[in-house]
Copies of this chain bind each other. A is one copy, B any other.
Amino acid sequence: MMISKVKNAMSTLVGGMMPHGHHHHHNHHSGGGQTCGPDSLPPRFPYGRPDFLDLTPELLQYSTEHASRPVLTLKRDSRLPWRTGYAEVINAGKSMLNEDQASCEKLFVKKPSGKHRNSTLQEDNGDGTGIPLHFWGVFDGHAGSGAAIMASKLLHRLIRDRLGEICHLLENPTGVPPICLAKNGSPYQAETKKGATQEPEDPDAISDSTVRFHMEKVVSLESLVMGVIETAFSQMDDLIEKEKTSYAISGGCCALAAIHLMGKLYVANAGDSRAIIIRNNEVIPMTNEFTPESERQRLQYLGFLRPELLGNEFTHIEFPRRIQHSELGKKMLYRDHSMTGWAYKTIVEDDLKFPLIYGEGKKARVMATIGVTRGLGDHDLKVYNSNIYIKPFLSCVPEVMVYNLDENKHGPDDVLVMGTDGLWDVTTDREVADAVSAYLSCCDPSDPMRYTLAAQDLLMRSRGVLKERGWRLPNEKLGSGDDITVFVIPLAGHESET
């Protein structure tokens, strides 16, 4: 994930703890407008790579070598649920540590027990009772790795706990959650009390409103799970904010999560990571990206409705380039929150402010600062040298797409690929699908490493190899200089699971 360079250089250092347990405070950038947690605060979680990689301190150190950018993969004797494949590589130098994080967990959704009712976020006790839940998460940090690490440790537990609260409803044979719950969690039926509305006295209106009063929207179990995931992301974001008072939790992160529950795969995305399903070598996109370009209108609308958030420095109107003072009174192309096309407007003083959304493609930024518009953390992120907060423009709510796993047949080469933007910046969906399909078709279906090898192959394609002129792809184009993290998840995996 990309954040403006100045910020980045300053802030990558704050969240990280180096492998051996030293704090690395060297190279502290001065003069930044951003407030970071006081140095005295301990990190919420120490820096590291995902637990399932099981790295020794030496290997962890080795993983941060920007010059060689070693590809880390799952060890041959490690085993993730569903034989999930995994590979990762550090960036080419834009930040000291790998700001990507990942998690892969099997958990069990249970009613909160007396003992744990108020102590959520526990590790799964693993007695194997409850509704099984599989979780894969990819977290692309920026301006430090604190938020990404914390999310990789806790988001799946939050989701499990929220699902636990509605556990008895998930097992409901009608498949329809009740609209209202009494305090003990059992369905509550409203009395049919005619005339209890606050509607006008007009007799027509009353009969009309009585009908409306009794309208009941049918909500599916699936949209209840979606709602749980959406609110769990918000709670994760709130938790980061809350714990920032006691811990150093640096930066923010894009969050992409896949959740398998009761035969369905929920893919939740907040940021610019991407997931696709490859089935029969066909691509089924499971995410949309949230960037200043894709969310332009939402952001402009907020700036328009709450101009004080722009701090008198920015204009919510978009222009195709900066305007010079000498151009006052001339006409310039623009578009506002309501427009998709462009029109001309006469330039006034206010239009000389910097545009809220500026730049194109990977270079598009919100308030000249951040290149992604959804994610977790970033509570303290400010526009450089100002007191303007970015957070109000960022959303922590993911878009959730659902794939019905049980209703489709899957072969061993049908997979879900989840990757941070480093992967997709240089390799298209189609290229990823072709590469995975080609790789897996040559690979023994019983090889426990096949999905990890496919992930490694994908990753190498996007990283390239180091030549005199930087990291290059076989076609001589520039490889990705970003951190890259990839999961390759076989969709037939849950069938083979014991």
Contacts and interface: CB of A to CB of B under 8 A. Distances in A.
Interface of A: 4-6, 31, 165-166, 177, 179-183, 188, 190-191, 193, 196-198, 200, 202, 204-205, 208-209, 212-219, 222-231, 234, 298, 301-302, 305-306, 319-327, 329-333, 335, 338-344, 354, 358-360, 363, 368, 384-385, 395, 397, 399-400
A339 B223 CA distance: 10
A343 B5 contact: no
B227 A335 contact: yes
Given A5-B204, A227-B335, A219 B321 contact: no
A202 B342 contact: no
Contacts of A183: 329-331
Contacts of A385: 200
Contacts of A200: 384-385
A271 to B, nearest CB: 15
Contact of A321 (B188, B217, B223): B217
A230 B343 contact: yes
A431 to B, nearest CB: 26
A353 to B, nearest CB: 8
B213 A340 contact: no
A343 B228 contact: yes
Contacts of A217: 320-321, 360
Nearest to A353: B198
Contact of A340 (B31, B332, B359, B399): B399
B341 A400 contact: yes
Nearest to A339: B230
A219 B399 contact: no
Contact of A341 (B4, B229, B323): B229
A190 B219 CA distance: 56
A303 to B, nearest CB: 11
Contacts of A197: 322
A219 B400 contact: no
Contacts of A306: 305
A184 to B, nearest CB: 10
A179 B301 contact: no
Contact of A5 (B208, B320, B327, B400): B208
Nearest to A325: B196
A340 B196 contact: no
A182 to B, nearest CB: 6
A487 B441 CA distance: 53
Given A302-B305, A322-B212, A338-B395, A6 B182 contact: no
9 contacts: A177-B333, A219-B333, A226-B342, A227-B340, A228-B343, A301-B301, A302-B305, A305-B306, A340-B399
